[in-house]
Chains A and B, each alone.
Chain A
Amino acid sequence: MSAEQHRDAIERIYRTESRRVLATLIRLLGDFDRAEEALHDAFAAALVQWPAKGIPANPRAWLVSAGRFRAIDAARRGARFDAARAAIADALGARDTPPHDVDDESLDDDLLRLIFTCCHPALGEDARIALTLREVCGLTTEQVARAFLSTAPAIAQRIVRAKAKIRDAHIPYAIPTRADMPERLDAVLHVVYLVFNEGYAATSGEAMVRVELTREAIRLGHLLLELLPGEGEVCGLLALMLLHDSRRDARVSADGALVLLGDQDRARWDAAEIAEGIALAERALRSHGRGTYAVQAAIAAVHAEARSAAETDWAQIAGLYDVLLTADPSPVVELNRAVAIAMCDGAAAGLALVDAILARGELASYHLAHAARADLLARLGRTAESRAAYERARALATQELERRFLERRIAELGAPANG
């Protein structure tokens, strides 16, 4: 193997193994920052030693012991000057682990420990997201900052605070107990869902889809499914993300305009993602812990299965929204159900439901509620009211592409009639 081939091989191993190695080093060293340093040192050592001695049979285990050895060594060297460091070195030495502790199964457990710690509900939502992208996905602070239209120092600060809380409040590096699992898994899935949504429906700014975030969220979904294959909601969330992501290329036209589901060129949907998403949605619906992600995935699957917008089984979609409303009542779900009802029972029936939701005031400042109402009014020929509703929606929309889309709709309604 040439030096270049070695470098490529090590880079590949970094991509596939670095998070698992980090997860184990955090357990062995008991500290995020020390573990990150040790991970860095371990790969630095690999770059020197592997080209000469060859790549070890189990690179993970090699990297874990190299990292741990270097951390203990560094603490011992510091110990000559500092009594506190001597205590650390002793503690690290005391955590001596037999070789079986770095087998693949225990490394999987470490990765779960890392995920559950980063998504601990005692951390703020922003901190959970930043920490997960940084530690579990291995994104740089700069990448996280770019994805969330923030600055690197702001994100770095958020991560430092989160790590300080983990340390000071003794958030354990542990997989939740069986009793805590449902709630804790919810918190993890919520982080993944937020990352996906931020990527898929960027709440502000120019680009409609921030691909790197959707990709990381789907990667996390696959990883969680691999680690927790029996959890129905993991399956459901991954299915939901894949089915939404399958429409990525069709959602925005060549000139950069937003295209609604009904108008999308279905030939541009990603068939492979749809096939995987539908299979996972079915598995999620059959599974024991079936929840709201599974039902949302089922709705996305019904859309994905329709060869054209006209062939969509709206009755089934309305029925699935009924199920969703019972499990997780929310005005947004009600709004989606109203749109489905409008598709099977007519625009007037849908409009009555939308008006009732808006009358309660909960969605009064939600732009999509007004856009849905405007669309139904237009279909009923109530053009002036439709225009007013579209204008309300445009005033409330924060996303540039959505605003442009709403402006186009207003233009399509024609000039306002005078008198």
Chain B
Amino acid sequence: MKYLCLIYGDESAWQSRPQQDLDAMTAEYLEYTRKYRQTGHILGGDALLPTGSATTIRVRDGKVSTTDGPFAETREQLAGYYLIEARDLNEAIQVASGIPGAKTGSIEVRPVRSMPQFEPLYQQAVTA
């Protein structure tokens, strides 16, 4: 069973932190990723640039509208994600609770909808 762990945090708080804090956080993420990559739980993941770099797109009546910033203004912003494999929600919770960002922000754990008809498309893309 696949789960997407969405990492939310207060990015303005992070922007004012000294470089050594950011380095320490990166080191923690490295260690976490290494550990759960080895156990086979982590399938993939990325950190995202701050929401200042985000663009929101909508298409209405065939017309594309482009706006600056994320879809919703919230206290915590999406900062990154992991795609994990877990036996069940209990194991997913256990893996997600190790994500360093859980200590300051929050992790949304979402089960991935199983859609077998899409899988061949991605396998082709990888081998192409």
Contact = CB atoms under 8 A, between A and B. Distances in A.
Interface in B47-99: 87-90, 92-93
A168 interface: yes
B111 interface: yes
A320 to B, nearest CB: 34
B102 interface: no
A13 interface: no
Contacts of B87: 170, 172
B93 A122 contact: yes
A271 interface: no
A174 B87 CA distance: 12
B1 A170 contact: yes
A180 interface: yes
A174 B89 CA distance: 11
B111 A174 contact: no
Contacts of B1: 170
A278 B46 CA distance: 57
A176 B89 CA distance: 12
Interface string A168-187: 11111010110010000000
A168 B87 CA distance: 13
A331 to B, nearest CB: 25
Interface string A110-126: 00000000001010000
A174 B90 CA distance: 9
Interface in A312-351: none
Nearest to A179: B94
Contacts of B109: 169
B111 to A, nearest CB: 5
Interface in A48-86: none
Contacts, number: 25
B90 A168 contact: no
Q: Which of A170, A171, A177, A180 has most chain B Cβ within 10 Å?
A: A170
B89 A169 contact: yes
A122 B92 CA distance: 12
A352 to B, nearest CB: 38
Contacts of A170: 1, 87-89, 92, 111
A176 B90 contact: yes
Interface string B105-116: 000010100000
A168 B109 CA distance: 12
B83 to A, nearest CB: 15
Contacts of A122: 89, 93
Contacts of B89: 120, 122, 169-172
B44 to A, nearest CB: 20
A228 B92 CA distance: 26
Nearest to A172: B88
Contact of A180 (B88, B90, B92, B111): B90
Contacts of A174: 88, 90
Contacts of A168: 111
Interface in B22-50: none
Interface string A150-192: 0000000000000000001111101011001000000000000
A174 B94 CA distance: 15
A172 B90 CA distance: 7
Contact of B111 (A120, A169, A172, A177): A169
Nearest to B113: A168
A119 to B, nearest CB: 13
B128 to A, nearest CB: 32
Q: Which of B87, B90, B92, B111 has most chain A Cβ within 10 Å?
A: B90
A77 B1 CA distance: 29
Nearest to B90: A172
Interface in A103-140: 120, 122
B70 to A, nearest CB: 25
Contacts of A180: 90
A177 B93 CA distance: 13
A365 to B, nearest CB: 25
Given A169-B109, A172-B87, A172-B89, 20 more contacts: A122-B89, A122-B93, A168-B111, A169-B89, A169-B111, A170-B1, A170-B87, A170-B88, A170-B89, A170-B92, A170-B111, A171-B88, A171-B89, A171-B90, A172-B88, A172-B90, A174-B88, A174-B90, A176-B90, A177-B90
Interface of B: 1, 87-90, 92-93, 109, 111
| Closest 10 pairs (CB-CB, A-B) | A172-B88, A170-B88, A171-B89, A169-B111, A169-B89, A170-B1, A170-B89, A172-B90, A168-B111, A122-B89
6 contacts: A122-B89, A122-B93, A170-B1, A176-B90, A177-B90, A180-B90
